[in-house]
Amino acid sequence: MHPILIAAALALGAAAPMSQAAAAGTVQQPVKKNLSVAEVVKHYGTLVHANYSDSISSAKTMQKAIGAFLASPSEQGLNNARKAWLDAREYYGQTEAFRFYAGPIDNDEGPEGQINAWPMDESYVDYVEGNPNAGIINNRKEAITKKRLAELNEHDGEENVSTGWHAIEFMLWGQDLNDKGPGARPYTDFVDGKKSNADRRREYLKVVTELLIEDLQSVADQWKPGSAKNFRAQFEKKPDDALRRIFVGLGSLSRGELAGERLEVALASRDQEDEHSCFSDNTHRDAVTNAQGILNVWQGSYKRLDGSELQGPGIRDWVASKDSALADRTTRQITQSVQAAQAIPAPFDQAIQGARDSASRAKIQATIDSLVQQSKDLVEAANAVGITQLNLVDPKAN
């Protein structure tokens, strides 16, 4: 990640439809009478576990598509694997609303950096334009195992990414050297006799996918219901502290990570290397799913992989029990952010390179502005329920 200057604490005086995941909506359930913080926190845990479970299921579907491709490499097989990666990202992107408060995803022992680290120096893993022998894959002395790839991830530099979603993305698409589309790695890169070290390329993609699923499962297990010893059990024992953590997660993703790291930095630099999913040109969807994840938690609703609707008391309901007008205003603002993100043009790398006053850049800026206002509304909402100062995390320090 790139450093970005954000306030360590915000006090109150501080200034395309989704394919499978739920689209933004403003329909609200009536506020439950006699609602308790404990009920809100318990439902949050249910929502978190459901979202991670769907992320694992969709990642396993991706794994099957990758396995079929590796067993018999073809153009169609590669396209199927790419589509499965894109589909799986719809669910993982929403889980990022559960970050930034020392939860199981990104506490000191958490696997977030192994799951979703970016940006990635492609030459750390495989060949790049002008350097056909670059990377772990082309070093036959280097073992390709889950243990070794985990050790190598971010070794000697945060851009030395060897694992996770973006390593898989690079393996499927290759470098994005196309102004108007994503990377175009040929399927023959995985065919013996067509490209050197094709066997290691196949093994790398297989192993890094297995590791991703294991890491996702380790996080989901910490949110599994019915355990007396996992993170969720401890989280629910202290509902007031849990509520504060939830607000920290929503506010930090809104301002520091999504508006800041993922949009402001790229808009300012106009550099493709600063976009989140640069190989697949999926950055616009990353923004939508992150924004949707915030809305899910706020409203207590989530559309599952199987199409069912999970609904229960959300943060909005607790805020509404104290200040209904503020709850409604914050709901409108969060919904506006999702809609603004949906309007970001694809491919994102071309949108950021437009003229300073271009419509494409204006749409990205509108999303940033909405998210910044959203973070302020969340701070005010936190204050309304007794959290008088909300410390929002700088992702660089997390």
Q: Please report, for residues 82, 178, 397, the alpha-carbon distance to residue 62 in angstroms, rounded to integers and kept in the order given.
A: 8, 25, 32
What Rg do the C-alpha atoms of the chain give, in angstroms? Answer: 21
Give me the number of domains the chain comprises.
1
Amino acid letter, 16: A
Tell me which residues of the chain have a pLDDT lower than 70: 1-32, 393-398
Distance CA 366, CA 291 (A): 13
In-domain check, residue 398: no
Q: What is the pLDDT of residue 32?
A: 65
- Give the E-state strand segments of the chain in sequence order: 301-303, 309-311
In-domain check, residue 391: no
The beta-carbon contacts of 121-124 under 8 Å, at least 24 apart in sequence, are 121/157, 121/159, 121/160, 121/161, 122/170, 122/174, 122/175, 122/279, 124/159, 124/160, 124/161, 124/162
In-domain check, residue 131: yes
Decide if 12 contacts 383 (C-beta within 8 A): yes
In-domain check, residue 304: yes
In-domain check, residue 293: yes
Decide if 183 contacts 175 (C-beta within 8 A): yes
Q: What is the pLDDT of residue 389?
A: 78
Q: What is the pLDDT of residue 164?
A: 99
**Max CA separation in the chain (angstroms):** 69
Among 288, 226, 280, CA closest to 262: 288
Among 315, 302, 344, CA closest to 250: 315
- Give the E-state strand segments of 98-244 in sequence order: none
Among 25, 38, 15, 31, CA closest to 325: 31
In-domain check, residue 19: no
Q: What is the pLDDT of residue 22?
A: 40
User: Measured at the alpha carbon of residue 374, what is the angle toward residues 42 and 260, in degrees to the nearest 5?
Assistant: 105
The proportion of the chain whose per-residue pLDDT surpasses 70, expressed as a percent, equals 90
Amino acid letter, 247: F
Count, residues in the chain: 398
Measured in whole angstroms, how far is the alpha carbon of residue 19 from the centre of its chain? 16
In-domain check, residue 397: no
In-domain check, residue 46: yes
13: Cβ contacts below 8 Å, ≥ 6 apart = none
Q: What is the dihedral of CA 372, 336, 104, 61, to 10 degrees?
A: -140
Distance CA 35, CA 42 (A): 12
Q: Give 105-118 pLDDT, tens digit per residue.
A: 999 999 999 999 99
Residue range of the domain that includes 151: 35-383
Q: What is the pLDDT of residue 388?
A: 87
Domain harbouring 205, CATH code: 1.20.1420.20
The torsion angles phi and psi of 303, rounded to 5 degrees, stand at: -90, 120
